[in-house]
Amino acid sequence: MSWLDRARGAYVRSPKFLRQGLRPLMGLVPAKLKFGRTYLRERERVARAEADPKFAAEAQLAALRALFAKAQAGSPFYRDLIARTFGAEFNADVLELADLSKMPIFDKVALRSAGKDALAVPLSDVDWGETSGSNAETPFGFYLDKDRSTREMAYVYDVWSRIGFSENDARVCLRGFALDPNGRKIHDWDPALREMRLSVYPLTEQDAAQYLDLIDARGLQYIYGYPSAIELFCRQMRVLGRTPKRPIKGIMPISEPIFDHQRSFIIQTLGNPQFSCFYGLSEKVLFAAEVAGAPGVYEFNPIYGLAELVDEAGDPVTEFGKEGRLIGTGFLSTGMPFIRYETGDYARLVQLPNASNGQRMQVCDLTPRRKPNYLVTDEGTRVVTTDLTPEDPRFFAGISEFQFYQDTPGDVVIRYVTTGEGGPEDAARMAADLTRTSQNRLRFRPQPVSQIVSGRSGKRAFIDQRLDIGRY
Give the DSSP letter string of 42-81. HHHHHHHHHH-HHHHHHHHHHHHHHHHHHHHHH-HHHHHH
Which H or E run contains 431? helix 424-437
Give the ranges where 87-226 is alpha helix by DSSP (H). Answer: 108-114, 148-161, 205-218
* pLDDT of 177 higher than 70: no
Residue 250 contacts residue 163 (beta carbons within 8 Å): yes
Mean pLDDT for 167-184 is 83
The domains of the chain, with CATH numbers, are 163-275 (3.40.50.980), 374-471 (3.30.300.30)
* pLDDT of 12 higher than 80: no
- Indicate the angle between helix axes 16-28 and 3-13, nearest 10 degrees: 140
Mean pLDDT for 431-436 is 92
Per-residue model confidence (pLDDT) at position 272: 92
Mean pLDDT for 428-447 is 92
Strands, sheet with 222-225, edge to edge from the N-terminal-most edge strand: 187-190, 195-198, 171-174, 222-225, 250-253, 274-275
Residue 149 contacts residue 8 (beta carbons within 8 Å): yes
Give the ranges where 219-301 is alpha helix by DSSP (H). Answer: 227-240, 260-270
Per-residue model confidence (pLDDT) at position 457: 41
How much is the mean pLDDT over the chain? 88
Residue 316 contacts residue 308 (beta carbons within 8 Å): yes
Please report, for residues 30, 366, 390, the alpha-carbon distance to residue 343 in angstroms, rounded to integers and kept in the order given: 37, 12, 20
pLDDT in tens, 418-432: 988 899 999 999 999
pLDDT in tens, 259-269: 888 899 999 99
Percentage of residues of the chain with pLDDT beyond 70: 87
* pLDDT of 186 higher than 70: yes
Instruction: For residues 355 and 434, give the distance between their C-alpha atoms in angstroms, rounded to a whole number.
Output: 50
Per-residue model confidence (pLDDT) at position 359: 98
Amino acid at 65: R
Residue 388 contacts residue 395 (beta carbons within 8 Å): no
Please report, for residues 11, 20, 23, 184, the alpha-carbon distance to residue 14 in angstroms, rounded to integers and kept in the order given: 5, 10, 12, 22
* pLDDT of 137 higher than 90: no
Per-residue model confidence (pLDDT) at position 349: 98
* pLDDT of 463 higher than 90: no
Classify residue 365 as exposed, middle or buried by CB count within 10 Å of its CB (0-12, 13-18, 19+).
middle
Per-residue model confidence (pLDDT) at position 131: 79
Higher pLDDT, 407 or 20: 407
Per-residue model confidence (pLDDT) at position 393: 65
Residue 349 falls in which region: left (phi positive, over 0), alpha (psi -120 to 50) or beta: beta
Mean pLDDT for 109-123 is 96
* pLDDT of 43 higher than 60: yes
Per-residue model confidence (pLDDT) at position 135: 45
Q: Looking at 57-66, 151-160, 381-390, which range is the least confident one? A: 381-390
Residue 31 banded pLDDT, cuts 50, 70, 90: low
Higher pLDDT, 320 or 420: 320
Per-residue model confidence (pLDDT) at position 132: 63
Burial 319-358 (b: 16+ CB within 10 A, else e): eeeebbbbbbbbbbbbbbbbbbbbbbbbbbbbbbbeeebb
Classify residue 380 as exposed, middle or buried by CB count within 10 Å of its CB (0-12, 13-18, 19+).
exposed
The set of residues, in sequence order, having a beta carbon less than 8 Å from that of 348 and lying 6+ positions away, is: 321, 322, 323, 324, 363, 364, 365
Residue 192 contacts residue 350 (beta carbons within 8 Å): no
Residue 438 banded pLDDT, cuts 50, 70, 90: confident
pTM equals: 0.81
* pLDDT of 25 higher than 70: no
Percentage of residues of the chain with pLDDT beyond 90: 66
Query: How, if at all, do strands 374-376 and 171-174 pair?
Result: unpaired
User: What φ, ψ does residue 465 adopt, rounded to 5°?
Assistant: -95, 115
Which of 178, 119, 176, 110 has its CA nearest to residue 140?
110
Which of 36, 35, 10 has its CA nearest to residue 22?
10
Per-residue model confidence (pLDDT) at position 32: 62
pLDDT in tens, 50-99: 999 999 999 999 999 999 999 999 999 999 999 999 999 999 999 999 99
- Indicate the angle between helix axes 148-161 and 3-13, nearest 10 degrees: 80
The set of residues, in sequence order, having a beta carbon less than 8 Å from that of 233 and lying 6+ positions away, is: 174, 198, 203, 208, 211, 223
Per-residue model confidence (pLDDT) at position 382: 86
Residue 461 contacts residue 403 (beta carbons within 8 Å): yes
* pLDDT of 458 higher than 50: no
∠33-34-39 over CA atoms, to 5°? 80
